[in-house]
Amino acid sequence: MGARKQDDTAHILAYQAPDPKGPWTLKGELHYSDQNLGYMVECPNLIFIDQQPVLIFCPQGLSQTIASYDNIYPNMYIVGEAFDWDTLSFINPTGPQNLDGGFDVYATQAFNAPDDQAYAISWLGLPDTTYPSDAENWQGCFSLVKHLTLVAGQLRQQAVAQGLAKAAFDPKTADLQLQEKLQFDFPNFPKGQLQIKAQHSSDKLTLSFDAQTHSLTVDRGQMGQPVALDHGTIRSIQLPATALRLTLWLDHSAFELYVNDGAQVVSGRLFPRQADTYQLDTSQLAADDFEVSGTRLQTIY
C-alpha cells in the first residue's frame, strides 16, 4: 500500500502481488472513509480479521473534531463490516479510532500470517519529537509483537509472549528490575493510584484510577528524563464500570499496558535517570481483594 497527497486530502493506493517480493501491480485507490483524514498518511496497512478489513495508518493533519488524540501525530485504525474487492471499498467503515492511548506509538506495521491470523508491531517513537536518546544518536524502539482480533468491531491487541517468561515472583514483596510483566485483577473498579517507584531516586511511573468517571490515567512525568513536554506527561482512557484486568510489561526504557485483555493499550518510552531497582507501591490504592502476579522477563541483549 502507498499514500499520496491530492487537494490537501490524503489518499491511499492499493497494490497487489503474488509474493511479497513482487511484482507489484497498482489496483487503484482504497476507499475507506468519506472524512477528510488529513494531508498525509504514513504507514498504511490493510489486514483482514475474520474477513473484516482493518486499516491501520498514521494520519498527519487529522482534525481533532474527527478524532481526539494527544500526541503530535496519532496512529489510528478503521474497521469495515466487509470489503468490496471490485471497488477496493470498506463496507460501513467505522470512524478512525486510536490504536494506542499512550505516548509514543507510531508507524505500526501489521500483516496476516499464512494461517490468516493478524499481527502487528509498533515503533515507539514519534516524528518531530525530541528524545533524550538523541544525544546518543539513536531514537525509538520496537513494541512487543501483538496478536490482533476483533470483538464487536473493536480491535483487541494481545502481546505475543512466547519465550519471554523467565520466572514467576511476588511483586508485592520483591524488587523490580524494570524487566517484568505485572498482572492486576480487580473484581471492582479501583480508586486511588499505584506506582512503580525507584528505590534510590524520585523516579516513578503512576497509574491513577477515578472510580467516579471510570478513567485510568498514566503519568510518566516523574519517571526520569522528560519527554515531549509540549504534548503533556499524562494520558487518560475511559473504561467500563466493571471488573478490570491490567497487564503491564516493563522493559527498562519502555512500558506497554494492556487493559482488559487488550481492549485498550497505553504504551510509552521511559528514560530513568540512573540504574536502579524499583518497588510496586499500592499503599494509595483502594481496591477490594485485588490480585497481582509477576513474571520476570528474559533479557534481549
Is 98 found in the same domain as 145? yes
Same domain, 40 and 155: yes
The helix or strand, by DSSP H or E, that contains position 279, with its residue range, turns out to be: strand 278-281
pLDDT of 277 higher than 80: yes
The domain total for the chain is: 2
Q: Among 116, 138, 159, which residue terminates a domain? A: 159
What tens digit of pLDDT does each residue of 161-186 get?
Answer: 888 899 999 999 999 999 999 999 99
pLDDT tens column, 105-119: 999 999 999 999 999
Residue 81 has pLDDT above 60, yes or no: yes
pLDDT score recorded for residue 1: 63
The candidate with the shortest Cα–Cα distance to 294, out of 191, 208, 166, 163, is: 166
Domain end call among 105, 139, 159:
159
Domain co-membership, 95 together with 176: no
User: What number of residues does the chain have?
Assistant: 301
Is pLDDT of 4 > 60? no
Which DSSP symbol is given to 145?
-
Same structural domain, 234 and 278: yes
Q: Which of 159, 189, 205 is the last residue of a domain?
A: 159
Q: Is 7 helix (H, G, I), strand (E, B) or coil?
A: coil
Q: What domain range includes position 261?
A: 165-297
Among 9-18, 83-92, 102-111, 209-218, the least confident range: 9-18
